[in-house]
Amino acid sequence: MTSNDLSRLCIHTMTNKPWSLDQCLSNYERVGITGISVWRNVIENQDLSAVKRRVSDAGISIVSLVRGGFFTGVDQPSRDKAIEENKLILEEAAEIGAPLVVLVCGATPGVSILDNINHIKDGIEALVETAEKLNVKLGIEPLHPMYADTRSAISSMESANDVAESIGSSMVGVTIDVFHLWWEKKLENQIKRCAENNNLFSYHICDWKTDMEDMLNDRGLMGDGIINVDQISKWVDDTGFKGYQEVEIFSKKYWEMDQGEFLDLIISRYKQLKIK
């Protein structure tokens, strides 16, 4: 592949948050990007069959719908409500033609990590039948431990693998994001483990800035920080993974930019990567 190859580049709509879905589609089509991961906010109150058609007409594939999850809660009724909400999210994914829903699994303060994880497992298990019926997979995304308080009790690749394997469904796997996992000393082995169990569903890239001003909305674009994206991409590809490399960035700084210029910068940085 040439250094200019964009065939595996996917961008999340949240990366270009100021744009509508149609603005994302027209601009991605213009520059030759063929993959998009759709965040639910850009399809809210829209005709989902029309969304599917517009994406297809742009020659772009929907890689995933983002996001489901948040299965934890202080009581069973709140957890049951989350399950029902996630069934609706799966239906949304099926309607727009998304093969995967990415799960940010949730964490409830005051509930132990182990109980939170058990509630997550129970919640995902309750979705398997719906996922099978709709043919939409569920990708558990382990988050960095700094989010273990309220966003996800699944805070390592090992933990995500454990949950996916314990559920034991072909519809349930793992979404890898370098932002959350770059620091793990056994990451290569856990990626291999994931793939050996056919659980490596999707792969997100960005960068970690050492001078982050916001723990959520100050991610770096590849090259801004310290993550060896090429090394992790090689580990992922060495398993036989052929899927998209998805640029997912939450950044107030980049959202304040002209989004056309930001898109050009994303492409420039992506082309500098060796593994794509």
The Cα–Cα gap between 235 and 229 comes to 10
Q: Which of 219, 221, 203 is nearest to 251 (CA)?
A: 219
- Domains of the chain, residue spans: 9-272
Which among 30, 106, 100 is positioned nearest to 65, based on CA atoms?
Answer: 100
The pLDDT tens digits for 15-39 are 999 999 999 999 999 999 999 999 9
C-alpha span between 220 and 172 (Å, rounded) = 29
What number is the average pLDDT over the span 97-113?
98
Burial pattern 44-61, b for ≥16 Cβ within 10 A else e, equals: eeeeeeebbebbeebebe
Backbone phi, psi, residue 139, to 5°: -105, 110
9-272, what's its fold? TIM Barrel (3.20.20)
The distance from CA 97 to its chain's CA centroid, rounded to whole angstroms, is: 16
Could you report the per-residue pLDDT of 168-204, keeping only the tens digit for each?
A: 999 999 999 999 999 999 999 999 999 999 999 999 9
pLDDT at position 128, please?
99
Q: What is the average pLDDT value for the chain, to the nearest integer? A: 98
**Residue 66: what are its φ and ψ, rounded to 5°?**
-125, 125
Q: Cα(32)–Cα(19) distance, rounded to whole angstroms?
A: 17
pTM exceeds 0.85, yes or no: yes
Contact 160, 121 (CB under 8 A): no
pLDDT confidence band for 2 (50 / 70 / 90): very low
